[in-house]
A and B are shown apart, each in its own frame.
Chain A
Amino acid sequence: MDVPRLSFMDRLHAAILAIGGSGLVCAYWIAFFHSDLTLPKFVHNVDNPDVVRLATVYMGFESAFPLADLLVAVTSALAAFYLIGRDAKAVLFGLIASGALGFLAFIDISFNLLHGLYAPANLFSDSGLQMEAVINVGCVVGATWSIWRLWGHPLRRAEDRPSRLRAMETASLDTAGN
């Protein structure tokens, strides 16, 4: 099949989707179930009953995420897969993945804000919460950038056909040249 070359930005986008949207999500959940790496320090505090209660709620809340993150990881991988193949389905799966990622990030941020976990005193003293804040910000920024880029991508109007995509790119180059 005559497939046009990938631009640098498409390669970068595919790498971010594959590594950030799929690889890191998988790595996070493997670490969550097999180590304490992803857990904030406060969940180990067994002295204060209020903190123990919050830790129970926090762990229950976090444990509900793997199934939802499955959607993000799989659709991100599919978006990267189709983007490398210059196929229009990259836009569909990319928008699903980015939308889901942003949605989950905002739920997480909302929970952490409402329960005071992002209060400066907690945030500055707990490296686990700092990592979570970085992940939350990374997810919102990454999802927004991905949606913005895919919405203006030529594949959005390409109807699955690389030959048509090439014709569109040639036409836009001709227009720019005139």
Chain B
Amino acid sequence: MAVSLPVACFIAAVGIGILVEAAAGVFKMWTYRSPPFVLVNVVVVFGLIQGYGVGWVIGGHGALRGVFPVLFMVGAVLGILIEGLNQYLLHAWSWSDRPLFGISRAIDKSAFVGVAWGFAPLFTVLFARLIVKASMGV
């Protein structure tokens, strides 16, 4: 059965989200205030917002060559917004004392991870196209 690109974007983004959360759990980078927040982050933020929203809406039509910077730009800006909401308002997750790539302050970790969110829609679109091709047996 052939998978459509929007569905593939959602699946790819959720897959990336699961990998990121698993890696964060293994290296104890951040902890959630309550377990449902992990689910919300993977399904809503990764899957719906960065995957379906940014990945499909911006990168799901036509050639990818010119649109790559826009995918990263929108993903990173939304990422910084999400990290800012958590840092100043929601406090859904908190940073451990372990440095992240040499960064020790919580606010700097949030900013760094906010920018890194830019890679989520980028890889989502790449993986989603592979999923569609694999589903068609190409």
Contact = CB atoms under 8 A, between A and B. Distances in A.
Interface of A: 18, 22-23, 25-26, 29-30, 33-34, 63, 66-67, 69-70, 73-74, 77-78, 80-82, 84-85, 87, 89, 160
Contacts of B67: 33, 66
Nearest to A25: B73
B84 A73 contact: no
Nearest to A28: B70
Contacts of B76: 70, 73-74, 77
Interface string B103-114: 001011011001
**Secondary structure call for the B interface:** helix
Contact of B73 (A26, A80, A85): A26
Contact of A82 (B61, B70, B111, B118): B111
Given A73-B77, A81-B80, A85-B88, 12 more contacts: A30-B70, A33-B70, A66-B70, A70-B73, A77-B81, A77-B114, A78-B114, A78-B115, A81-B84, A81-B111, A81-B114, A89-B111
B111 A73 contact: no
- Of A30, A63, A89, A160, the most chain B CB neighbours within 10 A belong to A30
A77 B80 contact: yes
Contacts, number: 73
Nearest to B107: A85
A74 B70 contact: no
Interface string B8-49: 000000000000000000000000000000000000000000
Interface of B: 57-58, 61, 66-67, 69-70, 72-74, 76-77, 80-81, 83-84, 87-88, 105, 107-108, 110-111, 114-115, 118
A30 B107 contact: no
A66 B114 contact: no
A66 B77 contact: no
Nearest to A68: B69
A78 B80 contact: yes
Contacts of A34: 58, 61
Nearest to A87: B107
A77 B77 contact: yes
Given A74-B77, A77-B77, A67 B88 contact: no
A89 B103 CA distance: 14
A84 B88 contact: yes
A155 B81 CA distance: 21
A69 B81 CA distance: 18
Contacts of B66: 33, 63, 66
A161 to B, nearest CB: 11
